[in-house]
Amino acid sequence: MRIHQVRSFLYRSAIPLAGVALAAVASAAENKVTICHRPPGNPDNVHTLSVGEAAVGAHLRHGDGLGACPTGCGRDPRICDDGDACTVDACDAEAVCHHLPVSGDPVCNFCGDGLAQPLEDCDGQDLKGETCTTVLGPAFAPAGLTCTASCQFDTSQCLPPDPGED
Ligand SMILES: [Ca+2]
């Protein structure tokens, strides 16, 4: 073959060969399955494996699971415990810890539960027994004290005593 004939032959051959090579790679990738492997006799060594499709049945029979092994709190929800008795600790489906404040407990500060806890001036109707007089002094009548949505006293409605009260 002359050089232009060789080039032409290589060009014609390369395309089908590249196609075969790509098909082999794709086929190899399709035949791999991700499993969570629990080694028999060594259950603490749980780890994610990629195995051939043909081996999946045997793995499932000895207790492995399909898909990657859970990680983080998905594997051990106890790691979400923040040691704070005023939060409810939970692990969600994405293995992310959540710490939700406890509502309605006399010790746990939770603004909006209607109970004035230690770090709050007030909460809703619970003014801890305070009045305009106790908060602002004797120059104000008792009535008018309210609580803001952020659990602080609102004294905007506090007024001096009615002069007729004397
Ligand atoms: Ca509260």
Distance 87 CA to ligand 1 centre (A): 14
Are the C-beta atoms of 109 and 103 separated by less than 8 Å?
A: no
Q: Give the pLDDT score at 29.
A: 52
C-alpha 103 to ligand 1 mean position (Å)? 7
Torsional sign, CA 48, 54, 60, 65: positive
Given a cut of 60, whether residue 15 has pLDDT beyond it is no
| Confidence band, pLDDT 50/70/90 cuts, at residue 19 | very low
Distance from residue 106's CA to the centre of ligand 1 (Å): 8
List residues, by chain if needed, whose CB lies under 5 Å from ion ligand 1: 110, 113, 115, 117, 123
Q: From the CA of 27, how far away is ligand 1's center (Å)? A: 61
Record the pTM. Answer: 0.56
Q: Is the pLDDT assigned to residue 27 strictly greater than 90?
A: no
Per-residue pLDDT band at 3 (split at 50, 70, 90): low
Residue 36 in this model has a pLDDT that exceeds 50: yes
Instruction: Give the phi and the psi of residue 49 in degrees, each rounded to 5.
Output: -130, 155
**Is residue 7 over pLDDT 80?**
no
Q: Is the pLDDT of residue 80 over 90?
A: yes
Percent of the chain whose predicted confidence (pLDDT) is above 90: 68
Please count the residues of the chain: 166
How many whole angstroms from 108 Cα to the centroid of ligand 1? 8
